[in-house]
């Protein structure tokens, strides 16, 4: 079953084509599929620390190495340090939680743009809490085909129990990640 009505609704909500959308049983499932497709067994995932602990747990489970770049002394993203660590460690996936769980830190748009300009691997911005911030990086999708945005109905919508998350990105990239996700994991009632 392709959840056509849900995909069409999300396409209308986001202004992004339905073939560049992947829905999952919570955004957790889409994180799992993204790490499985991009870094499992011997790959590297770079993120900041502290951040959402599931990134580390999934890396351990899937045989990927997690590279943790510290936030600065004021708990802000240091995008220059992130870029240097990307160049040094050559990860296949960079995960930026924005706003960051658990610190609420927000990455500066020009900092994220500089990361996306330099780095040709996949950058996933976890926007689980974007509704509580000044906005989303949705506009960046139009010019960066290595960017993925991850969103959920669990936080601002208070619908964690229905287990619906979604991933936005270039259709070819999202198509590859969908191969690492089991089919039919969303049930009809949630859709």
Binding site residues, ligand PLP, CB under 6 A: 26-28, 52, 97, 101, 126, 128, 152, 154, 160, 165
Q: Tell me the chain's radius of gyration from C-alpha atoms.
A: 16
State the residue number with the nearest CB to ligand PLP. Answer: 26
Query: Nearest distance from residue 83's CB to ligand PLP, in Å?
Result: 22
d(CA 148, CA 183): 20
C-beta of 27 vs 38, nearer to ligand PLP: 27
Query: Nearest distance from residue 166's CB to ligand PLP, in Å?
Result: 9
C-beta of 61 vs 87, nearer to ligand PLP: 61
C-beta of 94 vs 128, nearer to ligand PLP: 128
What are the start-end ranges of the H helices in the chain? Answer: 4-14, 27-39, 54-62, 79-89, 109-118, 171-178
C-beta of 9 vs 161, nearer to ligand PLP: 161
First to last CA, the chain: 11
Residue with tokens 């991850």: 150
Query: Nearest distance from residue 27's CB to ligand PLP, in Å?
Result: 3
Query: Nearest distance from residue 88's CB to ligand PLP, in Å?
Result: 25
Q: Name the residue among 168, 173, 180, 182 with its Cα closest to residue 40.
A: 180
* Burial call 11-20: b when 16+ CB within 10 Å, e when fewer: beebebebeb
Query: Nearest distance from residue 99's CB to ligand PLP, in Å?
Result: 9
Query: Nearest distance from residue 5's CB to ligand PLP, in Å?
Result: 20
C-beta of 119 vs 130, nearer to ligand PLP: 130
C-beta of 52 vs 77, nearer to ligand PLP: 52
d(CA 61, CA 25): 19
Instruction: Identify whether the C-beta of residue 154 lies closer than 8 Å to the C-beta of residue 26.
Output: yes
């Amino acid at each position: 079953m392709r959840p056509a009505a849900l995909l069409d609704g999300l396409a209308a909500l986001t202004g992004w084509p339905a073939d560049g959308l992947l829905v999952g049983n919570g955004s957790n499932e889409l994180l799992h599929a993204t790490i499985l497709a991009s870094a499992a067994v011997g790959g590297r995932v770079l993120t900041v620390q502290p951040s959402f602990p599931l990134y580390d747990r999934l890396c351990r489970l899937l045989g990927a190495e997690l590279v943790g770049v510290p936030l600065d002394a004021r708990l802000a993203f240091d995008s220059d340090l992130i870029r240097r660590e990307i160049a040094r460690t050559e990860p296949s996936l960079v995960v930026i939680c924005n706003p960051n769980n658990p610190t609420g830190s927000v990455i500066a748009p020009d900092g994220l743009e500089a990361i996306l300009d330099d780095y040709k691997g996949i950058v996933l911005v976890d926007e689980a809490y974007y509704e509580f911030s000044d906005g989303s990086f949705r506009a960046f999708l139009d010019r960066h085909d290595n960017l993925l945005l991850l969103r959920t109905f669990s936080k601002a919508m208070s619908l964690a129990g229905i287990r619906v998350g979604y991933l936005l990105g270039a259709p070819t990239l999202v198509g590859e990640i969908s191969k690492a996700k089991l089919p039919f994991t969303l049930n009809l009632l949630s859709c």
